Amino acid sequence: MNLLFKIGFLEISIVNIIDITLVSLLLYQIYKLLRGSVAIKIFLGFLSIYLVYLLVSALRMELLSIILGQFMGVGVIAAIIIFAPEIRKFLLIIGRSSILSNENVWQELLFWRKRETHAFNINPIIEASKSLSGTNMGALMVISRNSELKFYAESGDLIDAIISKRLLISIFNKYSPLHDGAVIIYNGKVKAARCILPVTERDVPAQFGLRHRAAIGMSEATDTLILIVSEETGQISLAKNGKILHNLSFQEVREFLNDYLTGVDIDEKFEPITVYERNRFKGSRSASSAS
């Protein structure tokens, strides 16, 4: 059994250490997934009741154990119903992190093809963003490297047109019937417009409107890079993996797009929402003290 040591009547083995470590990592990932939402309080309530159930079972308190045992049996079904959105998000994270999530993986495995980068000319995106930012026209562009995002593309109007500056500007024009929603860009083409994106359920700063919330939600559910042009300020933001970079220059946007499309890991360059809120608070506090 690979016994390591004993603490009283407890026998600790290597398997126990691995088991405890894996459970700790699982609980930590669940906490990260639920952090900032109302569901974290419900989860902590379930966890507290389960710990009490384990305690009374160990103390052989039979009546209380039976009552809590019945509650835990029903609680599993209740938890699945209550945490349905979080479970779906968790499975999406696992799916997008898997090598099998790549649509071309089977071709690569069966035909031993070298993985190709999906870089394309991003000048139309940059130039269109400049024009949209200068005229304070809001925009939401989802740039995908590995997938056509058919599920989200089918929620809007399919276009499948070669990307161009004039096309993007005409889509996001305030009088265009396609401007309300997101554009999905894949492999140098605008796959669809007026697409509906999942909105994040996390707490975000009040300055972030629905476009930013949708961009963060899409970045949580998929491995994409989302570009946001603010309609109020004209500022450019990028969202990826549930994180965001705000008020970027066009040169920075160009560098991030090139790195992402060529397979460079850029996740560490993005800031969590909590960091942005903390930096904004520090900036406002220093400004008020200076005045």
Question: What's residue 33's pLDDT?
Answer: 64
Quote the pTM value. 0.63
Q: What is the dihedral of CA 221, 162, 126, 129, to 10 degrees?
A: -70
- pLDDT tens across 2-38, in order? 666 566 556 777 777 888 888 888 877 777 666 655 5
- pLDDT tens across 49-60, in order? 888 888 888 888
3-state secondary structure 105-148: HHHHHHHCCCCCCCCCCCHHHHHHHHHHHHCCCCEEEEEECCCC
* Residues 6+ positions from 218 with CB-CB distance below 8 Å: 142, 152, 182, 197, 198, 224, 226, 239
Q: Please give the Cα distance from 150 to 44 (Å, whole number).
A: 36
Could you give the domains of the chain?
3-95 (no CATH), 122-280 (3.40.1700.10)
Per-residue pLDDT of the chain (291 residues; tens, 9 = 90+): 566 656 655 677 777 788 888 888 887 777 766 665 556 677 777 778 888 888 888 888 888 888 888 777 777 777 777 767 667 666 666 665 555 455 544 444 444 444 444 568 899 999 999 999 999 899 999 999 888 888 889 899 999 999 999 999 999 998 889 888 999 999 889 999 999 998 887 777 777 888 999 999 898 888 899 999 998 888 999 999 888 888 899 999 999 999 998 888 888 888 776 555 545 544 443 443 444
- Of residues 33, 29, 36, the one with CA closest to residue 273: 36
Give the pair of three-digit tokens for residue 259.
Answer: 């790195």
Question: What's residue 289's pLDDT?
Answer: 42
Question: What's residue 273's pLDDT?
Answer: 65
Phi, psi of 173 (to 5 degrees): -60, 140
- Of residues 217, 220, 215, 163, the one with CA closest to residue 192: 163
Would you call 223 helix, strand, or coil by DSSP?
coil
Question: What's residue 115's pLDDT?
Answer: 46
Question: What's residue 207's pLDDT?
Answer: 76
Question: What's residue 22's pLDDT?
Answer: 87
Q: Contact, 33 vs 89, CB < 8 A?
A: yes
Q: Contact, 236 vs 140, CB < 8 A?
A: no
